[in-house]
């Protein structure tokens, strides 16, 4: 990696790769499935940060593959993330009206179509992962391992389980332990799986995969702590949504348990730990190092 590495350039370029690729999915002219395709594209192409796909591609690069070679898997990860947002926003869950500065799916299309749009995204993600032609440069066996990795992270032991736990806490006392465990499932599992997917598809050694997992666990938690902080002191305009929603909902949060200052420090400590696991990759991990810092410094 050259010394003049620019994270903003890196993020811009990789986000563009993802955005362009995503625009190619659900591009249907067939009248019968136009409504559902439109609903999917409304949420999928609404300009997220694309952090999961970028982590996937950066992990592939860290083990010596090209971002483009794992782009389809990166898109699948963003589809799963988007489906989870659509379902989380539903009236029966968080009942949010806005997301990324626009009406949520059920507000724009109705609850029925929103549920189905989420279902469609989740299914398409696994279709892509099982489609040989989507990643012609990746050996077949790795596709299967990646698919399993993602399913485990997204399923009831991971993301879905975390969301269930969030809407129906099983432990009445909101301790730090309980909070860590919730977020390890709800957001941590898929972030970690994004890195592991890039690494697996890229043919990582066992040791490289382990290091990326440790990195992923820590940035996942730091990401959530930062989300909680932004909900307290972020700028609603930059965030594209109202702040203070955690407090209104009486949610247990890191700032609520630790205070703002200690939460910021915890996030920074986690990032420092995360970065320490990247040493083995040398210059190839420059983007991952910068991304780790970006995760706690971001304003949205």
Pick between residue 65 and residue 142 the one whose CB is nearest to its own copies.
Answer: 142
The answer to whether 189 and 156 have CB atoms below 8 angstroms apart is no
Strand partners, 103: 98
* Interface with its own copies (CB under 8 A), residue from 40, 56, 208, 212: 40
Q: Does 119 bind its own copies (CB under 8 A)?
A: yes
Q: Which stretch binds its own copies (CB under 8 A): 28-36, 49-57, 59-67, 222-230?
A: 28-36
Q: How far apart are CA 90 and CA 190, in angstroms?
A: 20
Q: Shortest gap between Cβ of 278 and its own copies (angstroms)?
A: 28
Q: Shortest gap between Cβ of 236 and its own copies (angstroms)?
A: 26
Q: How far apart are CA 263 and CA 188, in angstroms?
A: 17
Pick between residue 37 and residue 226 the one whose CB is nearest to its own copies.
Answer: 37
Q: Shortest gap between Cβ of 171 and its own copies (angstroms)?
A: 8
Q: How far apart are CA 223 and CA 188, in angstroms?
A: 8
Q: Which of residues 229-268 bind its own copies (CB under 8 A)?
A: none
Secondary element (H or E) of residue 152: helix 140-154
**φ, ψ of residue 206 in degrees (nearest 5):** -55, -40
Q: Does 137 bind its own copies (CB under 8 A)?
A: no
Q: Does 99 bind its own copies (CB under 8 A)?
A: no
Q: How far is CA 39 from the centre of its chain?
A: 20
Pick between residue 57 and residue 160 the one whose CB is nearest to its own copies.
Answer: 160
* Interface with its own copies (CB under 8 A), residue from 47, 155, 259, 283: 155
Q: How far apart are CA 26 and CA 30, in angstroms?
A: 11
Q: Does 111 bind its own copies (CB under 8 A)?
A: yes
User: Which string of b and e fits 198-216 if b means at least 16 CB within 10 Å?
Assistant: bbbbbebeeebbebbbbbb
Secondary element (H or E) of residue 291: helix 286-297
Q: Which stretch binds its own copies (CB under 8 A): 12-20, 137-145, 223-231, 282-290?
A: 137-145
Q: Shortest gap between Cβ of 147 and its own copies (angstroms)?
A: 4
61, 66, 78, 60: which is closest to 20 by C-alpha? Answer: 78
Q: Does 36 bind its own copies (CB under 8 A)?
A: yes
Q: How far apart are CA 55 and CA 24, in angstroms?
A: 21
Q: Which residues bind its own copies (CB under 8 A)?
A: 26, 28, 31-37, 40, 83, 87, 90, 92-93, 110-113, 115-116, 118-120, 122-124, 126-127, 129-132, 140-141, 143-145, 147-148, 151-152, 154-157, 160-161, 163-165, 167-168, 170-171, 181, 185
């Amino acid at each position: 990696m050259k010394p003049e590495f620019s994270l903003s350039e890196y993020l811009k370029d990789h986000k563009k790769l993802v955005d362009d690729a995503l625009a190619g999915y659900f591009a249907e002219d067939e009248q019968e499935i136009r409504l559902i395709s439109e609903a999917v594209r409304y949420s999928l192409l609404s300009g997220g940060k694309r952090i999961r796909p970028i982590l996937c591609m950066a992990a592939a690069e860290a083990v010596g593959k090209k971002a483009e070679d794992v782009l389809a898997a990166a898109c699948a990860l963003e589809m799963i993330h988007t489906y989870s947002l659509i379902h989380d926003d539903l009236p029966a869950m968080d009942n949010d009206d806005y997301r990324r500065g626009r009406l949520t799916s059920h507000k724009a299309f109705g609850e029925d179509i929103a549920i189905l749009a989420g279902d469609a995204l989740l299914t398409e993600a696994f279709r892509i992962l099982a489609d040989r032609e989507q990643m012609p440069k990746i050996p077949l066996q790795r596709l299967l391992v990646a698919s399993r990795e993602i399913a485990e992270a997204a399923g009831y032991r991971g993301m879905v389980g975390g969301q269930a736990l969030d809407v129906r806490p099983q432990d009445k006392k909101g301790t730090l332990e309980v909070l860590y465990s919730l977020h390890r499932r709800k957001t941590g599992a898929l972030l970690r799986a994004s890195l592991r997917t890039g690494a697996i598809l890229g043919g990582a050694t066992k040791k490289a995969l382990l290091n990326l997992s440790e990195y992923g666990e820590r940035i996942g938690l730091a990401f959530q702590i930062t989300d909680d902080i932004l909900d307290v002191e972020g700028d609603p305009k930059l965030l594209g949504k109202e702040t203070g929603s955690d407090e209104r909902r009486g949610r247990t949060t890191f700032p609520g348990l630790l205070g703002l200052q200690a939460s910021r420090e915890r996030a920074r400590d986690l990032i420092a730990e995360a970065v320490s696991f990247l040493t083995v990759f040398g210059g190839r991990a420059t983007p991952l190092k910068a991304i780790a810092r970006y995760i706690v410094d971001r304003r949205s």
